[in-house]
Amino acid sequence: MHARYPHRLVLFSMLLLAVNAFSQQGINTQIVAKRSYGMYLAKQWPELIVYGDSVLKLGFDYYYIRMRMGIAYFELKKYRIAEEHFKKAIAFNASEDLAFEYLYFIYIYTDRFEESRKLSARFSKPLKLKLKTDSLPVVDCVALEVGTKTSASIYVPNALFAQLGLGHYVKNKFSVFHSYSYYGQQNEYWKVNQNQYYIGANFPLRNKWMLSGAFSVLGRNTQTYSGTSLVGQLTALTSVDTYNYIESLSLKKNFEYFDASIGTTILWLDSVSQFQHNASLTYYPLANNKLGIGSIVYLHTLDNYSSVNLAYVPFVSFKATNRLSFSGSYLYNSGNNIAEWNGFLVNNSPDLTTDRLTLNTSWTLNKHVDLSATYQYENKYNAYINSYQYNSFFIGLKFKP
């Protein structure tokens, strides 16, 4: 047995040496409290973390050691690790406000706003007054985005896009986002107007789980022309109205260095039904949301899984400052177009998007206004004109009460 597991002997020996060393020093709760408090006062955060980990392994687990380790990780901006320590501190003593306050800001700094609102229901009255959580607005944001898609093909016209969105909370328990978007495109032969209504909700669950659901309806009018009248107006040959529906459900789990999610989206497009399944993984090497690297994988089919296609979206996000952030992604796709972001982005076109580069930047102008800019380079395929490209530019404003 010893020959097969030498590493276990080494670890066991190291543990015995550590226990013996602590025993020789007469370690007890008072000594742990004194030493950890001294490191806390001196702001020796890395040393406090190492010391805290060692005494936790020896069974010295109580409110103050968890608070000091949580604060140490928080000061080092490792918010995703600090979270668990503050939760443990609350489990030891839920009557103190400080752990709740730190945990609240961890959720804010890691963009988990639904969880911050849900946590605020447990605040004491003084803490609610201090953080003004009793007066948080029901409406979370109003968003406006406009843009254009510029075609590189003489056979494909440019397109216009506009979107208006509204986000709000329901009794601070979950969030809801509504949006209306318009997409228009026309040339001398045809004209397309598409209107989409989207509603999505995020429900924070226990143990760092988030359940999200969404529904969209798309109304599209397509007209083809036979020519021009005597006064130069286009004469419609046919006008067809269609309605399409998208349903989506996803589940996400937060870990110290990762976010993982799975989801399913069903698209009822014209006369076909498309089924999508997706999984994503995001790695946060700094244990906060400053840098995120990940990928989404989509499996999609039109024929009840007789054949399946894959799409991949690797992405990266970076917060340069508290006010300025950048993100980029690249879509690789085959088979058919897909719906992204829980059905929020629907590529309802007969032309296949084979790949697409997206670059985005966002500025927080002040506590009430965010400004964003997005550029996309998109490769499309049409059976009649083969490949062509879009260059797209979008500008967005988000107003926060």
Do residue 121 and residue 143 come from a single domain?
A: no
CA nearest to 186, candidates 198, 175, 194: 194
- Beta-carbon-side half-sphere exposure of residue 291 (alpha carbons within 13 Å): 4
Do residue 70 and residue 92 come from a single domain?
A: yes
Q: How many domains does the chain contain in total? A: 2
Do residue 161 and residue 255 come from a single domain?
A: yes
Task: Please give the chain's pLDDT, 401 residues, in tens.
Answer: 444 444 444 444 444 445 444 444 557 889 999 999 999 999 999 999 999 999 999 999 999 999 999 999 999 999 999 999 999 999 999 999 999 999 999 999 999 999 999 999 999 999 999 999 999 999 999 999 999 999 999 889 999 999 999 999 999 999 999 999 999 999 888 899 999 999 999 999 999 999 999 999 999 998 888 665 545 565 667 888 989 999 999 999 999 999 999 999 999 987 789 999 999 999 999 999 999 999 999 999 998 899 999 999 999 999 999 999 999 999 999 989 999 998 898 887 889 999 999 999 999 999 999 999 999 999 999 888 889 999 999 999 999 99
**CATH number for position 395:** 2.40.160.60
106, 135, 164 - which closes a domain: 135
Do residue 198 and residue 318 come from a single domain?
A: yes
8 Å CB contact between 170 and 136? no
Do residue 131 and residue 143 come from a single domain?
A: no
Residue 1 in domain: no
**CATH number for position 75:** 1.25.40.10
Do residue 58 and residue 10 come from a single domain?
A: yes
Question: ∠ at Cα 175 (172, 178), nearest 5°?
Answer: 140
Residue 387 in domain: yes
Do residue 125 and residue 153 come from a single domain?
A: no
Tokens 């009840």 appear where? 304
Cα Dmax for the chain: 103
103, 135, 167 - which closes a domain: 135
Residue 265 in domain: yes
Tokens 């990780």 appear where? 73
Residue 360 sits in which domain range? 139-399
135, 170, 202 - which closes a domain: 135
The C-alpha atoms of residue 38 and residue 2 are separated, in whole angstroms, by 42
